[in-house]
Structure 1
Amino acid sequence: MAFEDIRRSRPKNTSQTGPFEAIVVNNLDTKYMGTLQVELLKTTSSGNQPERSGQVMEAMYLSPFYGVTPVGGNSKNEGYRNSQQSYGFWAVPPDVGTRVLVIFVEGSTSKCYWIGCVQDEYMNFMTPGYASTSLLKDYDKKGPAVEYNKLTTTDPTPEPTTHRKPTHLDLLKGYIVSGLSDDETRGLTSSSARRELPSAVFGWSTPGPLDKREGAPKAEIGFKGNKLNFPKSRLGGSSFVMDDGDDKFLRKGHPKDTAMEYANIEAQEEGGDVTRPHNELLRLRTRTGHQILLHNSEDLIYIANARGTSWIEMTSNGKIDIYGADSISV
Structure 2
Amino acid sequence: MESRITGSYAKSILATRKHQENPILKNIQGGIYKAITVGGKPDPEGRGRIAAYIPKLGGEPDNPMFFMYASPFGGANAQGSYGMFAVPPDAGVTILVFFAENGELNEGYWFAVSQEVPDVVGGASGKAKADGTGQGEGVFTDIPSSKVNPISVREAVNVEEPEQENSNKNANTANQGIYSDPIRGQTTASPGRDANYETTQHSKVYGWSTPGGNYISMDDGSVGDDGVIHPNQIRVTSGSGAQVIVDGTNDFIYAINSSGSGWVEIGAKGEVMIYAEGNMSIRTEKDFNLRSDRNINLEAAEKINIRSGENTNLNVGDQLHAKTKGSMFFESGGANHTKVKTNMFVSTDGHLHLNGPMASIAFDIPLSAQPDMQNLEAGLIEDTIIPKIPTHEPFLRGTSATMPSSSGDTPTQSTDSQKAGNEVSKDPSSAEGQVDADNQAQDSNEDVPGLPAGEGLATIRASNGVGCQVAKIFQKNFQGLLNDLEATGYEIRTLHGYCKRTTRGGNKPSFHAMGAAIDINAYAPNGYAQNAPAGWDPSGSRGGNFGCDLPLNIGSIAARHGLGWGGNWSRPWDPMHFSAASVERGAYRLTRAYKVAENSDVTGTTSVRLA
TM-score normalised by the shorter chain: which range applies? 0.5 to 0.7
CA contact (8 A) 1:137 1:165 kept: no
Q: Which of 30, 51, 64 does residue 56 from structure 1 map onto?
A: 64
Per the TM alignment, residue 303 of structure 1 is displaced from its structure 2 partner at its CA by: 1.3
Q: Distance in 1 between matches of 2:223 and 2:181?
A: 20
Per the TM alignment, residue 93 of structure 1 is displaced from its structure 2 partner at its CA by: 2.9
Partner of 2:144: 142
Q: Which of 240, 244, 250 does residue 220 from structure 2 map onto?
A: 244
2:138 paired with 1:168: no
2:43 paired with 1:29: yes
2:211 paired with 1:207: yes
The 5 A counterparts of 1:225-240 are: 237-240=213-216
Q: Which of 68, 73, 80 does residue 65 from structure 1 map onto?
A: 73
Deviates more, 1:138-147 or 1:292-301: 138-147
CA contact (8 A) 2:120 2:216 kept: no
Deviates more, 1:96-105 or 1:22-31: 22-31
Instruction: Give 3-state SS (helix, strand or coil) of 2:255's partner.
Output: strand
Partner of 1:319: 271
Instruction: Give 3-state SS (helix, strand or coil) of 1:100's partner.
Output: strand
Per the TM alignment, residue 164 of structure 1 is displaced from its structure 2 partner at its CA by: 2.5
2:18 paired with 1:8: yes
The 5 A counterparts of 1:177-326 are: 177-196=175-194, 197-208=201-212, 237-248=213-224, 266-267=225-226, 277-326=229-278
CA contact (8 A) 1:206 1:239 kept: yes
Per the TM alignment, residue 42 of structure 1 is displaced from its structure 2 partner at its CA by: 2.1
Could you tell me which amino acid in structure 2 is paired with residue 128 of structure 1? V
Instruction: Write out per-residue CA displacement over residues 208-263 of structure 1, whole angstroms, 9 at most, x where no aligned residue.
Output: 0xxxxxxxxxxxxxxxxxxxxxxxxxxxx111111001222xxxxxxxxxxxxxxx
Answer with 1 or 2: which has the greater Rg: 2
> Between the two proteins, what is the percent identity of the paired residues?
30
Q: Which of 60, 76, 95 does residue 100 from structure 1 map onto?
A: 95
> Does the C-alpha gap of structure 1 residues 69 and 314 become closer, same or farther in structure 2, counting only changes over 3 Å?
closer
Structure 1: 5+ residue stretches without partners: 44-51, 71-83, 209-236, 249-265
Per the TM alignment, residue 136 of structure 1 is displaced from its structure 2 partner at its CA by: 3.0
CA contact (8 A) 1:14 1:109 kept: no
CA contact (8 A) 1:145 1:166 kept: yes
Q: Distance in 2 between matches of 1:167 and 1:299?
A: 29
Instruction: Write out per-residue CA displacement over residues 284-326 of structure 1, whole angstroms, 9 at most, x where no aligned residue.
Output: 1111121111111211111111111111111112211111112
CA contact (8 A) 1:13 1:108 kept: no
CA contact (8 A) 1:148 1:164 kept: no
Could you tell me which amino acid in structure 2 is paired with residue 166 of structure 1? E
> Does the C-alpha gap of structure 1 residues 194 and 294 become closer, same or farther in structure 2, counting only changes over 3 Å?
same
How many residues of Structure 1 are paired with residues of Structure 2 in the alignment? 249
Could you tell me which amino acid in structure 2 is paired with residue 8 of structure 1? K
Q: Distance in 2 between matches of 1:279 and 1:160?
A: 27
Q: Distance in 2 between matches of 1:302 and 1:15?
A: 53
Instruction: Write out per-residue CA displacement over residues 85-141 of structure 1, whole angstroms, 9 at most, x where no aligned residue.
Output: 11111113341100011000121011100010011x3x33x4335311115363414
> Does the C-alpha gap of structure 1 residues 168 and 38 become closer, same or farther in structure 2, counting only changes over 3 Å?
same
Q: Distance in 1 between matches of 2:33 and 2:151?
A: 28
CA contact (8 A) 1:300 1:316 kept: yes
Partner of 2:608: none
Q: Distance in 2 between matches of 1:317 and 1:142?
A: 28
Q: Distance in 1 between matches of 2:174 and 2:95?
A: 37
Could you tell me which amino acid in structure 2 is paired with residue 145 of structure 1? K
Instruction: Give 3-state SS (helix, strand or coil) of 2:232's partner.
Output: strand
Instruction: Write out per-residue CA displacement over residues 144-198 of structure 1, whole angstroms, 9 at most, x where no aligned residue.
Output: 1113487997x9xx576747311122x1121111111111111110011111131
Q: Which of 117, 126, 129 does residue 133 from structure 1 map onto?
A: 126
Deviates more, 1:128-137 or 1:60-69: 128-137
Per the TM alignment, residue 14 of structure 1 is displaced from its structure 2 partner at its CA by: 4.9
CA contact (8 A) 2:128 2:166 kept: no
CA contact (8 A) 1:294 1:300 kept: yes
CA contact (8 A) 2:51 2:64 kept: yes
CA contact (8 A) 2:126 2:146 kept: yes
- Cα-Cα RMSD: 3.0
Instruction: Give 3-state SS (helix, strand or coil) of 2:171's partner.
Output: helix
Q: Distance in 1 between matches of 2:98 and 2:242?
A: 39
Could you tell me which amino acid in structure 2 is paired with residue 16 of structure 1? Q
> Does the C-alpha gap of structure 1 residues 246 and 161 become closer, same or farther in structure 2, counting only changes over 3 Å?
farther
Query: Given the two structures, how large is their TM-score scaled by the length of structure 2?
Result: 0.38
Per the TM alignment, residue 69 of structure 1 is displaced from its structure 2 partner at its CA by: 3.0
Q: Distance in 2 between matches of 1:69 and 1:9?
A: 35
Deviates more, 1:199-208 or 1:306-315: 306-315
Could you tell me which amino acid in structure 1 is paired with residue 190 of structure 2? S
> Does the C-alpha gap of structure 1 residues 159 and 193 become closer, same or farther in structure 2, counting only changes over 3 Å?
farther
Q: Distance in 2 between matches of 1:94 and 1:198?
A: 29
2:74 paired with 1:85: no
Could you tell me which amino acid in structure 2 is paired with residue 305 of structure 1? N
> Does the C-alpha gap of structure 1 residues 161 and 207 become closer, same or farther in structure 2, counting only changes over 3 Å?
farther
Instruction: Give 3-state SS (helix, strand or coil) of 1:102's partner.
Output: strand
> Does the C-alpha gap of structure 1 residues 151 and 315 become closer, same or farther in structure 2, counting only changes over 3 Å?
closer
Structure 2: 5+ residue stretches without partners: 1-10, 137-142, 195-200, 283-611
Partner of 2:343: none
Partner of 2:281: 329
Q: Which structure features the higher share of strand residues? A: 1
Partner of 2:517: none
